[in-house]
Amino acid sequence: MAHIHLPDGSFTLFWVLVWWIFTLVLIGAALVWARMRRAGAREITVAAFVTAASFAVFQVQVPLFGGVHMNLTPLIGILAGPVLGSFIVFIVNILSAAIGHGGWGLIGANVLVNFSEVTTGYLTFRALKRVTPSLFSRAGIATFGGLFVGNIAMIAIILVSGIQGVTQTPVQILTGLSLLAAVNMGVAVVEAFVTGFIVEYIGKVKPDLLGGGRP
């Protein structure tokens, strides 16, 4: 859900390169780890499915404050784990930029934002296993927590990078971003319920899918 909806040129070239470098290092580390682990056919199939689902949902926007949407990133973490999840959000952001959803220069920053949601969702879902056996509750809480962290990451990246051509003070920018984050978290409640129902259903018909996604 947290996504920097700014056109190319909003960040200086320096910050565009900084976030791209971080993302390429992340993807490189994930490639090394995936090569060592050798993901099985089932994991690749699940990853392909959630990539398609995430990309489709990603494009359905609610026209509020520049556009808010669900993107199923915590669900990606729950089903695919953070390693495959990093590839998924990278691919989804590239495909989205190709059809005009976000700038090419902001792919690096947006991948980092989405990866924070994937990782938080994955870790929270697994940690809550000791607290409650309810898949719906675990998935819902993990989703809300992941999207909350994603919004914090989005705000932090924008404040650190700055926005070219904007005359607002940092305090004014933070106020606007906080309002956007509040709207995002309202949508996050909806996504938490949707993800909860999806994971609960998967737990009934294909519970082995919830045992994958190793870190």
Is 0.95 topped by the overall pTM? no
Rounded to 5°, angle at Cα 109 from 198 and 76: 15
**Do residues 84 and 49 touch, judged by C-beta distance below 8 A?**
no
Which tokens in the block code for residue 93? 């952001």
When divided into structural domains, the chain yields a total of 1
Task: Please write the tens of the pLDDT for every residue from 49-72.
Answer: 899 988 888 777 666 555 567 788
User: Which domain CATH number covers 19?
Assistant: 1.10.1760.20
Position 214 scores a pLDDT of 43
Domain assignment present for 4: no
Query: Each residue of 29-43: pLDDT tens digit?
Result: 999 998 887 777 788
Rounded Cα gap, residues 144 and 189, in angstroms: 7
Whether residue 88 is contained in a domain is answered as yes
What is the model's pLDDT at position 215?
41
Residue 2 lies in a domain: no
| Residue 41 counted as domain residue | yes
Range of the domain at 156: 13-211
Condensed to tens digits (0 to 9), the pLDDT of residues 85-110 reads: 999 999 999 998 888 777 899 999 99
Averaged pLDDT score across all residues of the chain: 88
pLDDT of residue 67: 56
Q: Cα angle at 77 between 76 and 81, to 5 degrees?
A: 110
pLDDT of residue 213: 43
Sign of CA dihedral 84, 4, 11, 104: positive
Give the residue-averaged pLDDT of 162-167: 85
